[in-house]
Amino acid sequence: MRYFLIIASALLAFGTTMTFESTEANAVVCARGVYRAGCAGARGAVVVRKPVAVACRWVWVGGVKVRRCV
């Protein structure tokens, strides 16, 4: 009888968990890499390249200090 009650309670617990409808997961995962960054979601993925570092320096033009970026 004890064995029967254990099996019955296990089946009841399993049946109870199966009756609840699970919701759809809409998670988005993003990561930053060394060369590019990307996000992946339920509807696809996007990869973005990081911009190239720009070298800037200060120069004097006509007596005024100006920042020039190459």
- As a whole number, mean pLDDT of residues 30-59 equals 79
Q: Which residues of 6-45 are buried (b: 16+ CB within 10 A; e: fewer)?
A: eeeeeeeeeeeeeeeeeeeeeeeeeeeeeeeeeeeeeeee
- As a whole number, mean pLDDT of residues 5-11 equals 91
- As a whole number, mean pLDDT of residues 35-64 equals 82
Report pTM.
0.30
Residue with more model confidence, 25 or 9: 9
List helix spans (H) across 1-70.
Answer: 2-19
